[in-house]
Amino acid sequence: MKRKLRVLFASSEAVPFIKTGGLGDVAGSLPKALNATGEAEVRVILPKYKDIPEEYKDQMSHVCDFYMMLGWRHVYCGIETLEYQGVQYYFVDNEYYFKRDGAYGYFDDGERIAFFAKAVCEFIQYVDFKPDIMHCNDWHTALSTVFLREFYQNMEDYKNIRTLFTVHNLKFQGQMSDAVLGDILGLAGNEAAANQLRSDRVSINFMKGALCYSDLLSTVSETYAREIQTPFFGENMDGIYRRRKDALYGIMNGLDQEQYDPETNENLPAHFSANDMSGKAECKAALQRELGLEVNDQIPLFTMCGRLTQQKGLDLVEHVLDEFLQLPVQFAVVGTGDKKYEDMFRNFETRYPGKVCAYIKFDEKLAHRLYAGGDFFLMPSLFEPCGLSQMMAMRYGNLPIVRETGGLRDSVQPFNKYTGEGTGFSFSNYNAHEMLFVMKDALGVYYDNKEALNQLRYQAMTRDFSWNVAAGKYMNIYRRLHPEIESPVAVETAPAKKAAAKKSTTKKTKKKTAEKKGKK
């Protein structure tokens, strides 16, 4: 049978409706890219949060409403819809649960999220979209995979649905008291379900449920998919990941290349491209002026942007920044987060006026100017499932200096001084002086080898971070879930075979990418 695969993409966030982190970006871009392959019809479902801008709420139309059981509760659920950039979105409406400020952080988040996850399953019987695949993302939709198997799978509309569960952030797992098993999930007395949901004797873990119940699993980079099989990165789920390693994929996120385009981005004081870098100097001068740094094109500007938390490797920075600042460099950071790190950077700014800037606010427009005006972008994360900032920096010719972990390892090719290859700099161990050594290396290239610097910038800016690559890989997973449904468009390899042999597929894809690059 040849037809498009029907995929229900369940996420608690999606740009431009609601976003608190990278999940929102992914859910806002990936479905569009999947639909563009011509092989799938992807529709997205998310809660109708109060904070969704009015302009979108005004465009929504009512699809249906029904009551459903949530534990002992009989609750109302409305479904609204709108089409945005060619993607059909469904919004789950219940004002008691979602008419609140922000998305999360309430005492009853467990109940609200369980309600959303159940609605994702329940609504399928009321609409004319009958998915082949439910693609669930992070702990907010983890329970959908459990409910599907326990309550719905023997019904006609559900019996062929297969599930993929993608982890974007393993830290947040939805850990609740054991009471929710009966009270909210309606699974009291179901020992098999309880065993898969319990992470210890006293708590229920929503994410663990999805890791056990889903047909296939994925996360957002190949390296991170390997790392989470170890106790250090696994957040207590490493055992399950090791057991299910044949079902686990790592697929690197893409970047919205139109939004992050130095040739057109409206936040920049000047524009530039890989072939004409002249505007970058103007961006740097304007940034130095804006941040109160000495305006001087000869001094390399090291930059950082992101959440100021331990994950981002800030302890390494604290350890060696004084030593680094003895050199002819500038350092600018834009970020918010833990007070400890905010104060640390403020302190450096006070001690090194004109040389260090600590901009402790969330400012998306400034972030663009920082990526564009900076020479080097420091991201020495302790762990990094994928990371977007390093890709944004590369797009703007701001060379990343990263620790080789997760998506940082997969997206930044380290400088090879013998061949000139690379898109940035990297170091391996979580060690401050190892980082400092590489920062000095970068400094050396800046001062003594302009040719290599320009080549690195060119290579970083022309690297393909578009969503097309990721979309193709997700399609392979979908095909593995439904090998009997053939693609309506010609694909290079028989999809069923291609997906069945995961390892060889990965190798082939790598080879193809390398060949393509070679051709360019």
Bin 170: left if φ > 0, else alpha if -120 < ψ < 50, else beta.
Answer: alpha
Distance of closest approach, residue 30 Cβ to ligand ADP, in angstroms: 14
- The nearer residue to ligand ADP, 304 or 329, going by C-beta atoms, is 304
CB of 388 to ligand ADP, least distance (A): 4
Cis-peptide into 231, omega within 30 deg? no
Residues 379, 383, 386: CA angle, nearest 5 degrees: 75
Q: How many CB atoms lie within 10 A of CB 257?
A: 15
Provide the β-strand partners of residue 400: 377
Q: Could you tell me which residues are beta bridge partners of residue 8?
A: 43, 134
Q: How far is CA 274 from CA 283, 286, 520, in A?
A: 15, 20, 14
Quote the CA–CA distance of 381 and 84 in Å, as a whole number: 35
Q: Is the dihedral of CA 40, 41, 46, 52 positive or negative?
A: positive
CB of 436 to ligand ADP, least distance (A): 22
Which CB contacts under 8 angstroms, 24+ apart, belong to 471-475?
A: 471/30, 471/33, 471/34, 471/36, 471/37, 471/254, 472/37, 472/509, 473/249, 473/251, 473/509, 474/30, 474/34, 474/135, 474/218, 474/251, 475/34, 475/37, 475/39, 475/40
Of residues 58 and 364, the one with the C-beta less far from ligand ADP: 364
Cα 441 from chain centroid (whole Å): 30
- CB closer to ligand ADP, 212 vs 392: 392
Q: Which is nearer to ligand ADP, 145 or 221 (CB)?
A: 221
Smallest gap, in angstroms, from Cβ of residue 392 to ligand ADP? 6
Among residues 40 and 392, whose Cβ is nearest to ligand ADP? 392
Nearer to ligand ADP, 101 or 364 (CB): 364
Helix H or strand E encompassing 405: none
What is each CA distance from 119 to 62, 319, 413, in whole angstroms?
A: 15, 49, 43
User: Would you say how long the chain is, in residues?
Assistant: 520
DSSP summary character for residue 60? -
13/428 Cα distance (integer angstroms): 33
CB of 333 to ligand ADP, least distance (A): 9
Q: Please, which residue, 306 or 495, has the CB nearer to ligand ADP?
A: 306
The least distance separating ligand ADP from the CB of residue 202, rounded to whole angstroms, comes to: 30
Question: Minimum Å distance from CB 347 to ligand ADP?
Answer: 18
Nearer to ligand ADP, 344 or 499 (CB): 344
Question: 138 or 375, CB closer to ligand ADP?
Answer: 138
Residue closer to ligand ADP by CB (options 145, 253) is 253
Interface positions with ligand ADP (CB under 6 A):
21-22, 305-307, 334-336, 362-364, 367, 387-389, 392
Q: Look up residue 343 and give its amino acid.
A: D
Smallest gap from residue 251 Cβ to ligand ADP (A): 15
Tokens of 334: 């834009």
- Rank residues 147 and 465 by Cβ distance to ligand ADP and give the closer one: 465
- Closest to 253 in 3D by CA, of 45, 468, 458, 84: 468
Minimum CB separation from ligand ADP for residue 291, in Å? 13
CA distance 64 to 84: 19
User: Shortest gap between Cβ of 258 and ligand ADP (angstroms)?
Assistant: 15
Residue 260 in tokens: 């992050």
Q: Shortest approach of ligand ADP to residue 453 CB, angstroms?
A: 23
